[in-house]
């Protein structure tokens, strides 16, 4: 996710801070309560049903706003009040809202806690009353899967995003041109592998003479360093985010050499002076603005950066979008997808189910999906929406071409064995973010030992979680976490 995937939400702040944030943001009208003015303060019509919508989307916000406008025009008796929450506060704010009986009617489902836990805590309402077989048939055939968005036969969500790598490499054409790294059309020469990246970063930095550099990022918010590590995703690991390898059933921070190779490569770029010096003191948005203004030539980001630049740097369009580079002569792994998928849901306590479903159904319609793609927000689950011809800019068309060919189907044992969701390893610190920070700043001198320690701690936590589940009479088998016949370069065959 979606992706999010944009940052881990495990670093949630204390509940006291969340309470203050909850009281400070968003409308005060309770879910299900009629209000006398619309979202823009326009006097409302008596009898209008007002539903509350929560998400954490910023760059996607204008697109959702447009959908609200269109929806309200078609459904004049329903008003949608949208609240955009702070990303890393979102799970805590939602938990507090549920406890206070002020949860939104429609919500973007967070990645933590696990979906099955959110269901158990009444965060989400089953959708079967409306999500009929006929409605589900409008989605691709693998869109609803037990253990993903269906639990005990009850549907709780629908896939929103389409199958696409959630990160790409962005190249500033002007910076590349100033370093002499462009083709005959003036477009940046695309680095294919890590050696290309390092060589081009050195060339750009030398040409910049202190005015611009080869590579940049902003880790002030402490979640972007692992995005750089995602260059391992096409270099021989099925999961560069967690390092867990279903082929072995273990974490692989130390046992898979790709992670150590990346650390050597990335710290080498830092030693070359090719990475902006303020990378650890600026945040992600500041880094994206610096990229747009020509301070460095290469940036890792998701499709959201394109709509972000439309807001912060509307005149910036001279950039190229490419797949993340790999290590070696060819890609040895890919980004992966599995059946099912999670997007929005209805609150378990909403008293406006029919109206909330109308908005949910609108958001998850093929027409809204086409508008999402046309607005430059990425792929959607409906194949008919993902046409490169819908792209309004050349960089977005480049993104779509990269995204449409960038994933493979992975095994999903948790869909075969739903009780796997009841195995919940405890998080252990320092995590990969903290370790990468220590390595990058020089506070951790022995990267190999740090990776081995993390791998051992996470393997132990996994084993302990399985034993804990078994002690609670949950039927789980450690062997379920191992799929030995997975070829990382091919779609895993669907087994009936």
| DSSP for 24-81, written as a single string | HSS--PPTT---SB-TTSPBPPTT-EEEEEEE--STTHHHHHHHHHHHHHH-TTEEEE
Residues 6+ apart with CB under 8 A from 205: 212, 213, 214, 272, 273, 274
Order of strands, sheet of 168-172, starting from the edge strand that comes earlier in the sequence: 213-215, 296-301, 168-172, 319-322
CA 7 to chain centre: 7
CB atoms within 10 A of CB 23: 10
Long-range contacts made by residues 254-262, C-beta under 8 angstroms, separation at least 24?
Answer: 254/448, 254/451, 254/452, 254/454, 254/455, 255/455, 258/232, 258/327, 259/229, 259/232, 259/451, 260/447, 260/448, 260/451, 261/235, 261/327, 262/194, 262/229, 262/231, 262/232, 262/235, 262/327
Model confidence at 297: pLDDT above 60 = yes
**Token digits of residue 491:** 């779609």
**24 confidence band (pLDDT: 50, 70, 90):** very low
pLDDT in tens, 449-496: 999 999 999 999 999 999 999 999 999 999 999 999 999 999 999 764
Q: Would strands 213-215 and 168-172 be described as parallel, antiparallel, or unpaired? A: unpaired
The Cα–Cα gap between 246 and 51 comes to 42
What does the DSSP 8-state code read for residue 350?
Answer: -
What pTM does this model have?
0.84
Q: Note the pLDDT of residue 7.
A: 34
List the one residue out of 278, 282, 286 whose CA is nearest residue 220: 282
SS3 label, residue 496: coil
CB 257 within 8 A of CB 326: no
The pLDDT of 306-324, averaged and rounded, is 96
Work out the number of other CB atoms within 10 angstroms of the CB of residue 40.
Answer: 6
pLDDT tens track for 175-195 = 999 999 999 999 999 999 999
What was the pLDDT predicted at 421?
A: 85
Residue 373 confidence class, pLDDT cut points 50, 70, 90: very high
Distance separating alpha carbons of residues 311 and 288, to the nearest angstrom: 12
What DSSP line would sit under 462-494, residue for residue? HHHHHHHHHHTT----GGGG--TT--TTSPPPP
- pLDDT of 437 strictly over 70: yes
> What are the structural domains, with CATH classification, of the chain?
15-160+341-364 (3.40.190.10)
For residues 294 and 29, give the distance between their C-alpha atoms in angstroms, rounded to a whole number.
Answer: 45
Predicted confidence (pLDDT) per residue in 211-233, tens digit = 999 999 999 999 999 999 999 99
**372: pLDDT strictly greater than 90:** yes
Whole-number pLDDT of residue 156:
98
Mean pLDDT estimate for the chain: 91
pLDDT at residue 155 in the model = 98
| Exposure class string for 389-411: b at 16+ Cβ within 10 A, else e | ebbeeebbebbbebbbebbbbbb
Q: What percent of the chain clears pLDDT 70, i.e. is strictly above it?
A: 90
DSSP string, 180-229: T-B-TTSPBPPP-BHHHHHHHHHHHHHHHTTS-EEE----TTS-SHHHHH
H or E element in which residue 395 lies = helix 394-404
Q: Which DSSP string corresponds to 232-269?
A: GGGTT-S-TTT-EETTTTEE-TTTSHHHHHHHHHHHHH
Q: Is the per-residue pLDDT at 37 higher than 50?
A: no
- Per-residue confidence at 13, pLDDT binned at 50, 70, 90? very low
């Amino acid at each position: 996710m979606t992706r999010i995937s944009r940052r881990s939400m495990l670093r949630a702040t204390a509940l006291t801070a969340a309470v203050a944030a909850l009281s400070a943001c968003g409308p005060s009208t309770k879910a299900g309560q009629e209000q006398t003015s619309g979202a823009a303060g326009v006097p409302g019509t008596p009898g209008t049903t007002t539903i509350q919508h929560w998400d954490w989307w910023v760059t996607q916000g204008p697109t959702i706003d447009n959908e609200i406008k269109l929806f309200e025009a078609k459904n004049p008796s329903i008003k949608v009040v949208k609240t955009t929450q702070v990303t890393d506060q979102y799970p805590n704010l939602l938990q507090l809202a549920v406890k206070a009986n002020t949860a939104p009617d429609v919500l973007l489902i967070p990645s933590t806690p696990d979906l099955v836990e959110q269901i158990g805590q009444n965060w989400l309402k089953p959708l079967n009353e409306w999500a009929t077989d006929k409605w589900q048939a409008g989605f691709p055939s693998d869109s609803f899967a037990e253990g993903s968005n269906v639990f005990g036969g009850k549907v709780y969500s629908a896939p929103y995003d389409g199958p696409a790598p959630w990160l790409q490499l962005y190249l500033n054409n002007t910076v590349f041109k100033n370093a002499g790294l462009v083709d005959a059309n003036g477009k940046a020469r695309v680095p294919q592998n890590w050696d290309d990246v390092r060589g081009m970063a050195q060339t750009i930095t030398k040409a910049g003479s202190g005015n611009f550099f080869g590579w940049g990022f902003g880790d002030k918010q402490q979640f972007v360093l692992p995005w750089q590590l995602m260059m391992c995703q096409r270099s021989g690991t099925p999961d560069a985010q967690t390092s867990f390898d279903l082929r072995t059933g273990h974490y692989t921070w130390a046992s898979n050499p790709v992670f150590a190779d990346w650390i050597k490569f990335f710290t080498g770029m830092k030693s070359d002076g090719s990475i902006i010096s303020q990378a650890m003191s600026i945040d992600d948005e500041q880094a994206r603005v610096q990229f747009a203004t020509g301070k460095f030539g290469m940036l890792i980001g998701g499709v959201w950066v394109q709509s972000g630049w439309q807001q912060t740097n509307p005149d910036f369009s001279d950039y190229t979008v490419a797949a993340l580079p790999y290590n070696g002569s060819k890609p040895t792994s890919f980004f992966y997808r599995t059946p099912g998928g999670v997007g929005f849901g209805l609150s378990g306590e909403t008293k406006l189910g029919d109206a909330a479903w109308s908005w949910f159904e609108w958001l998850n319609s093929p027409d809204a999906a086409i508008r999402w793609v046309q607005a430059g927000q990425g792929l959607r689950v409906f194949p008919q929406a993902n046409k490169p011809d819908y792209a309004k800019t050349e960089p977005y068309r480049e993104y779509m071409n990269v995204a449409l060919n960038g994933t493979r189907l992975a095994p999903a044992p948790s869909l075969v064995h739903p009780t796997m969701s009841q195995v919940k390893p405890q998080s252990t610190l320092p995590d990969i973010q903290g370790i990468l920070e220590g390595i990058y700043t020089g506070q951790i001198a022995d990267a190999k030992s740090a990776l081995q320690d993390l791998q051992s701690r996470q393997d132990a936590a996994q084993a302990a979680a399985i034993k804990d589940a078994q002690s609670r009479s949950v039927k789980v088998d450690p062997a379920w976490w191992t799929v030995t016949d997975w070829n990382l370069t091919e779609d895993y065959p669907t087994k009936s």
